[in-house]
Amino acid sequence: MAGALVLLALLLGGVRACVTAIVCLAIVFGVGLWQDSMVTLASTLVATIITMVLALIFGVWMAQSATADRIVRPVLDAAQVIPPFVYLVPALGLFQSTRFTAIVAAVVYASPVAIKLVCDAIRGVSPSVVEAARASGATRWQVIIKVQLPMARSGIALAANQGMLYVFSMVVIGGLVGAGALGYLVVAGFSQAELFGKGLAAGIAISVLAIMFDRVAQGLSKGVGGGAATASKPATTAPSTT
């Protein structure tokens, strides 16, 4: 598992992210919470994937429809200022105290910022490029899939990064509703004096996991942004000598 994570960091984030991943995984192994860290990591990745699916669906919809943006954005703004613990009440009522409840609460908490970042990234695509694609006969979906989404890759990568960090920020709160693993250990650490050390170690493990994936996402964002900038540069034509 460790080798797969290091390889993933190297492929997505480059050498610097790979070195950061090695150091962070060594710290996780050193605090003796490897198994719990992998359980937390799996739940976090599932929540992040669901968050990004929702971000792409609603972000594209809001970017294409001003009416949808006027309706959905105030809801997202309100959701961002609601305290995280508030999300646990309906989640507990619907799904009881399980790891799935923690994932649902994390998705609801992280989705608003990711959706707005995707929407703004797509709206930031040059209107002249979109008009050129439409003039060439591209359909609406072709413009979205082949023009707007590729040119908004840097903003989408930023949305994935922020969505993941918001999910990580819900790990401890998720420990209150049955998420188990590191979140539960942190909760147990501040509620039971004899488990303080283990709770502190779990907090360190959560922090280094978040740092590791943040560095990977930043490396990916820089690579994507550089590629998009190169692709968007107009081609230069050599002056005619005739």
CATH number for 66: 1.10.3720.10
- Local structure of 149: helix, strand or coil: helix
Tell me the one-letter amino acid at 26: A
Q: Please give the Cα distance from 171 to 180 (Å, whole number).
A: 9
End-to-end CA distance of the chain: 63
> In terms of DSSP H, where are the helices of the chain?
2-13, 15-30, 34-64, 66-81, 84-95, 99-123, 127-135, 140-143, 149-151, 153-169, 171-174, 181-191, 196-232
Q: Is the pLDDT assigned to residue 99 strictly greater than 50?
A: yes
Q: Does any domain span residue 178?
A: yes
Q: Does any domain span residue 12?
A: no
Do residues 47 and 110 make contact, with C-beta atoms less than 8 angstroms apart? yes
Residue 230: which pLDDT band, with cuts at 50, 70 and 90?
very low
Q: How many domains does the chain have?
A: 1
Tell me the one-letter amino acid at 61: W
pLDDT given for residue 53 in this prediction: 93
Q: Does any domain span residue 65?
A: yes
- Local structure of 42: helix, strand or coil: helix
Q: Does any domain span residue 15?
A: no
Tens digits of residue pLDDT in 131-183: 888 888 888 888 888 888 888 888 888 888 888 888 888 877 777 776 677 77
Q: Does any domain span residue 223?
A: no
Q: Nearest 5°: CA angle at 171, between 204 and 110?
A: 125
Q: Does any domain span residue 187?
A: yes
What is the span of the domain harbouring residue 168? 36-196
